[in-house]
A and B are shown apart, each in its own frame.
Chain A
Amino acid sequence: MKRYFRELSVAGALLILLLVLALFAPAFFQPQPLRSLLTREAPTLVVACGMAFVIIIRQIDISVGSQFAVCSVCAGLLAALKWPLVLVLPASVALGALMGAFNGMLVAGLRLPSIVVTLATMVTWREALRWQRQGQFVNLPDNLQWFGLSQSGGQWTLIGAALVVLTLLAWATRHLAAGRFIYAIGSDAEAARLAGLRPQSTTFAVFVFMGALVGLAAMMNVVQSPQVDPKSGSGLELKVIAAAVVGGVAVSGGRGRLWGVFAGLLLLACISPALTHFHVEAYWEKAIQGAIILLAVVADGVRSRKQIR
């Protein structure tokens, strides 16, 4: 029980929030808006899983929002050129992986601090996109939305896809050697190296994987509407880092579970609509989200101090 304390406390907070909503704002649980909410968060969940890996291996990637925008716009442009979906999807994933590889090369190859590298690529990708699109939307062909399925069919597909990604990755972190390597390197890179692991190539691989997940998530977002906003993904890095930290991923690396991240993401995602349902002024939203993140970080700090003693 104690091992899962962080994850369980997030899940508990989420349950309390849902309970309060059920009592005072039952309209929150109407099927259509709820399904819409989950669909909108599905791409974020995919990115958050990748971010959890990056933080567990003691790195950070704040360029994911910009990568997301670049992949979205490129996928949109390819789809507008009448590329079929079966080609657009791998192209988006490959492009994301390529941008991830660029980060990984600089972080793992040149041993530069990831916060600086990804800050630079965040600004570079975002500004390059602004220069190229000048804020103009990309109009998509009609049959792309919801993969050409009905609205509810498309929404369930996206939610399902995100859950499959989550389950597979959660399983991989427990049962695949590569998954264990990430924890080992995040806990102590030097010890891992002496044990025969290769921290630099694993770090590189994690950044590439992060990028590929962003490419997938971008595609999952593109199919949700008939236009691509070139600003999409702004602030995504904060959302997913917050979800990971609130979900119990230790900022000092080496620890974290994906289902905790899932709970953290849902908790943060429900706050904004919950405030709307309680008719609370929007001014409070960011402050409440900030307070939750702060609480999680402080709890994390207190617990790790106790462990040291």
Chain B
Amino acid sequence: MKKPSPLLLLLAVLALATACNKAPEASSGPAGSARKLSIALMPKSKGNAYFISCKAGADKAAKELGADLIFDGPTDPDPAKQNEIVENWIALGVDVMAVACENKEGISTALRKAQSKGIKVVTYDADALPDSRSFFVNQATPEGIGYMLMDEAARLCGGSGEFAIITASLTAANMIEWQKHIEARRAASFPNMKMVALRPCDDLKDKAQSESTALLSANPGLKLIMAICSPAVPGAAEAVKQAGKVGRVKVIGLGLPSENRRYIKEGVTDSVILWKTEDLGYLAVQAAAGLAKGTLKTGDKSFASGSLGQFEIQGDNILLGKPFVFNKDNIDQFNF
């Protein structure tokens, strides 16, 4: 470990002394802080199970930090209401805010205003324009998602066999990006896995079911269906179930645990991949606090986030890391 410079030590002592002079009652807090840090956390909408589970992690982080956490957001996803709440927080004089943005452009003006008043801003889950916040807590990179899906598929198929992908539409930018990484991983690590079809389902469960039914009869050697948009996972599972091919054809995909719980428990769907929403809330609050306290600065390459350890920073994106695999063993711990 590097030795702290004497000058820094002197400053720290001075700071401590002045803090004690001004507000002796706060001396129990961390060195230098005169009052409790106030952190405001905004979901896209308050009633959504996904964000409620984010909040559970955020509460934990606030407790560990000894900070005040304000949790507020629109009842329904509403960009105008989000702006209003940001304005309220500016008036209230919070130290830092962490926002999941419903509309990228819409909220950025309000966030810039907050920054001009000296309030630090981070975004999580869905980003604002880069100049309106310091960091974005990024829950998953396309690479992370693509590799995880391919690794899981190869693991379930024992490293070789045919699989098919069901996507939302052939033009969705994020899905094309994921497919690229799925293919890159397949070519590099699992050359014996063969993708036999790519079918769009228009982001509809019913269409995903029809497509899967056709895939199953057209490809008798199919070992796995990978559904990379969330309504397609239960759709594919229902098709496999109705075809009586449970166990012979595996189903994996990207989706919410709640929509797939039934099929995972029945053994139709093997695993659903997403991130741990609780960790996302935890990291968002830790990053907000770090930014306010100065332990997180622009240009940092990593960030130590309390009990979850180190997180990598790419540019101004703090990465939550590898996605999480929900399966039979852990699905009951998650209620979103």
Contacts and interface: CB of A to CB of B under 8 A. Distances in A.
Given A36-B213, A134-B48, A272-B210, A279 B218 contact: yes
A277 B205 contact: no
B199 A282 contact: yes
Interface string A148-174: 000100000000000000000000000
Interface stretch (B137-145, B238-246, B275-283, B290-298): B238-246
B217 A277 contact: yes
B127 interface: no
Interface residues of A, number: 32
B242 A276 contact: no
Given A33-B214, A36-B242, A279-B197, A226 B262 contact: yes
Nearest to A227: B234
Contacts, number: 95
Interface of A: 25, 27-28, 30, 32-33, 36-37, 40, 131, 134, 136-137, 139, 151, 221, 225-227, 229, 231-232, 234-235, 272-273, 276-277, 279, 281-283
Contacts of A221: 206
Interface residues of B, number: 37
B203 interface: yes
Interface in B199-257: 199-200, 202-206, 209-211, 213-218, 220, 231, 234, 238-239, 242-244
Given A32-B243, A137-B234, A272-B211, A282 B217 contact: no
A231 B207 CA distance: 11
B214 A272 contact: yes
Contacts of A282: 170, 197-200
B105 interface: no
Contacts of B213: 33, 36-37, 40, 273
Contact of B218 (A151, A277, A283): A277
Contacts of B215: 276
A134 B242 contact: no
Contacts of A281: 198
B267 interface: no
Nearest to A221: B206
A281 B199 CA distance: 8
A276 B243 contact: no
B202 A234 contact: yes
Contacts of B45: 134
